[in-house]
């Protein structure tokens, strides 16, 4: 029995191996534009990202492949996640202040050497970016989008006020992502907030840095499934903020299910202005169907009653004539054939007279 189980396990493993290999080949294309692959796909890990954060984001597979076009070469990485939210966490962790938005498409960033793109649940990295043309990169992104999960990105990303420094926006699904975000923004003293954020309750976090000529601050937004959870974790987060941080202006406020925390602002006034600019509004509506009740004119009601009565009378007369007429005609032309057949008629007799009743005497 044991040998049989081992044999079945080996057969299943051998059958799954070609399937797994085939699935990996579908991530990176064999060619795009004038570029052709020069090597098979291999497993690769994103630089600067811990395994804990990759597990938190839901990394499904990762591949690297080399391409060439004449005498030019480039390398492409693709990281596939279970959903776009996980891909967005890794994408925001990879971008930095040296990158700028790219003309290749939405959610793309580029520096002097590398293009980073978010395509549904895929994070794509191309280097060196100078080698392919913009049209070729757009063709690549378009082809990848056809095979990616196009579920909308987390709404919390739109709550950030405009004016943040490009490359500082970071999204977190869990503690590893928030820890990495605080470290990249040089706010390590607020690491105590990570364990009290309540990611196990379904929280999501978004953080970005703001800087003007006079003021500077980091805004942390944490959204919860319900206002009750937000209020509960608000108290835990307040206790996790040190007294020195509170004296420097770090405060927490709640609006419905969203907590806004301004980390180490340059002034209390700037912290308030930044919090007021958060794009988060709540509204309670009663979705009940409504209609206007109007009474019809009196004469219209009377006319409908008369018409309905006449129609009922006509129907009654027609049905009566039809029922009675058919019976009379059948008895006239076919007496005793269909109706009132003597052999099928029974009459109860009390026996008060000696004469037997004949049923035909009644018709």
Q: pLDDT per residue over 142-177, tens digit each?
A: 999 988 998 999 999 999 999 999 999 999 999 999
pLDDT score for 6: 47
Does residue 340 register a pLDDT over 50? yes
Does residue 344 register a pLDDT over 80? no
Among 15-29, 165-179, 283-297, 332-346, the least confident range: 15-29
Query: Distance between CA 42 and CA 126 in Å, rounded?
Result: 15
pLDDT score for 243: 86
What does each C-alpha distance from 215 to 103, 181, 183 come to in angstroms? 31, 21, 21
Does residue 7 register a pLDDT over 60? no
pLDDT above 70: percentage of residues in the chain: 82
pLDDT score for 20: 42
92-106: per-residue pLDDT in tens?
A: 999 999 999 999 989
pLDDT band of 251, cuts 50, 70, 90: confident
Among 200-204, 209-213, 322-326, the least confident range: 322-326
Query: Distance between CA 296 and CA 324 in Å, rounded?
Result: 40
Among 4-8, 210-214, 323-327, the least confident range: 4-8
13-65: per-residue pLDDT in tens?
A: 445 444 444 444 468 889 899 999 998 988 888 787 889 999 999 999 999 99
Among 185-199, 218-232, 240-254, 343-357, the least confident range: 343-357
pLDDT above 90: percentage of residues in the chain: 58
Does residue 137 register a pLDDT over 80? yes
pLDDT band of 132, cuts 50, 70, 90: very high
Provide mean pLDDT across the span 206-232.
94
Does residue 2 register a pLDDT over 60? no
Choice between 187 and 19, residue whose per-residue pLDDT is larger: 187
- b/e per residue 279-298 (b: at least 16 CB within 10 A): ebeeeeeeeeeeeeeeeeee
Distance of CA 51 to the CA centre of its chain: 26
Hey, what domains does the chain have and what are their CATH numbers?
23-145 (3.40.1000), 155-276 (no CATH)
Query: Distance between CA 250 and CA 244 in Å, rounded?
Result: 9
Does residue 4 register a pLDDT over 60? no
Choice between 47 and 265, residue whose per-residue pLDDT is larger: 265
Provide mean pLDDT across the span 124-140.
93
pLDDT score for 325: 82
pLDDT score for 328: 79
pTM: 0.71
Helices (H), the chain: 2-25, 51-57, 84-94, 134-145, 175-184, 192-196, 227-240, 243-247, 268-276, 298-333
pLDDT score for 9: 47
pLDDT score for 230: 94
Q: Is 137 in contact with 98 (CB distance < 8 Å)?
A: no
What does each C-alpha distance from 12 to 1, 4, 15 come to in angstroms? 17, 12, 5
Looking at every residue in the chain, the average pLDDT score rounds to 85
pLDDT band of 287, cuts 50, 70, 90: low
Does residue 327 register a pLDDT over 70? yes
Say if strands 204-211 and 108-110 run parallel, antiparallel, or are unpaired.
Answer: unpaired
């Amino acid at each position: 029995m044991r040998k049989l189980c081992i044999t079945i396990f080996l057969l299943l493993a051998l059958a799954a191996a070609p399937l797994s290999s085939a699935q990996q080949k579908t991530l990176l294309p064999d060619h795009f534009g004038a570029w052709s692959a020069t090597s098979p796909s291999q497993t690769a890990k994103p630089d600067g990202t811990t395994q804990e954060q990759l597990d938190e984001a839901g990394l499904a597979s990762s591949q690297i492949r080399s391409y060439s076009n004449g005498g030019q070469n480039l390398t492409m990485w693709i990281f596939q996640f279970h959903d776009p939210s996980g891909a967005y966490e890794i994408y925001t962790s990879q971008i930095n202040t040296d990158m700028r938005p790219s003309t290749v498409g939405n959610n793309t960033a580029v520096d002097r050497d590398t293009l980073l793109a978010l395509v549904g649940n895929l994070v794509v990295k191309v280097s060196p970016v100078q080698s392919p043309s913009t049209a070729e990169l757009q063709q690549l992104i378009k082809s990848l989008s056809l095979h990616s999960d196009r579920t909308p990105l987390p709404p919390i990303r739109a709550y950030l006020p405009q004016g943040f420094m490009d490359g500082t926006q970071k999204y977190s699904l869990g503690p590893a992502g928030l820890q990495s975000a605080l470290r990249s923004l040089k706010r390590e003293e607020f690491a105590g907030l990570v364990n009290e954020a309540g990611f196990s309750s379904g929280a999501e976090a978004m953080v970005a840095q703001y800087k003007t000529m006079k003021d500077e601050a980091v805004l942390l937004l944490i959204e919860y499934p319900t206002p009750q959870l937000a209020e509960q974790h608000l108290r835990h987060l307040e206790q996790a903020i040190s007294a020195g941080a509170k004296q420097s202006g770090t405060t927490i406020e709640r609006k419905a299910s969203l907590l806004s925390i301004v980390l180490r602002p340059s002034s209390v006034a700037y912290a308030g202005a930044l919090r007021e600019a958060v794009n988060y509004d709540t509204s309670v509506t009663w979705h009940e169907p409504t209609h206007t009740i109007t009474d019809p004119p009196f004469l219209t009601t009377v006319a409908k009653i008369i018409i309905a009565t006449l129609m009922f009378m006509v129907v009654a007369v027609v049905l009566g004539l039809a029922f009675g007429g058919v019976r009379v005609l059948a008895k006239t032309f076919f007496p005793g054939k269909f109706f009132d057949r003597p052999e099928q008629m029974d009459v109860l007799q009390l026996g008060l007279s000696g004469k037997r009743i004949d049923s035909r005497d009644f018709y």
